[in-house]
């Protein structure tokens, strides 16, 4: 199942063009308090939000590790292996 999800995400990401990233669509859903909502968004905004969320959670994990006197693995983009391979 995970491979199917990975393949679907990869296929979608590979299909994105600059135009497609900005293409708006309407989302209908329910907020945490159960209220129904409708909003307009685009893939670029969704991707940016995912990056923001990831950064937030990495920071939270780093803070917990520091409080436990553990040096976090992920501290710096420039010091990471991926920064030097791309």
Q: What is the pLDDT of residues 29-41, one digit of tens each?
A: 999 999 999 999 9
What is the structure's pLDDT at 45? 95
Q: Where in the sequence is the domain holding 59, given as residue range(s)?
A: 16-80
What CA–CA distances, in Å, run from 23 to 8, 51, 60, 73?
A: 19, 19, 33, 37
The answer as to whether 10 is a domain residue is: no
- The closest of 68, 75, 79, 18 to 43, measured between CA atoms, is 18
* Residue 68 falls inside a structural domain: yes
12-41 mean pLDDT: 94
Q: Does this model's pTM top 0.85?
A: no
**Is 45 within a domain?**
yes
CA-only gyration radius of the chain, Å: 18
Strands (E), the chain: 25-30, 36-41
């Amino acid at each position: 199942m995970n491979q199917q999800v990975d393949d679907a995400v990869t296929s979608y990401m590979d299909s994105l063009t600059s135009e497609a990233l900005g293409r708006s669509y309407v989302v209908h859903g329910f907020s945490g308090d159960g209220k129904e909502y409708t909003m307009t968004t685009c893939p670029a905004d969704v991707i940016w939000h995912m990056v923001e969320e990831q950064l937030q959670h990495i920071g939270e994990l780093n803070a917990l590790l520091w409080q436990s006197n553990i040096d976090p693995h992920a501290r710096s983009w420039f010091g990471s292996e991926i920064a030097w391979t791309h």
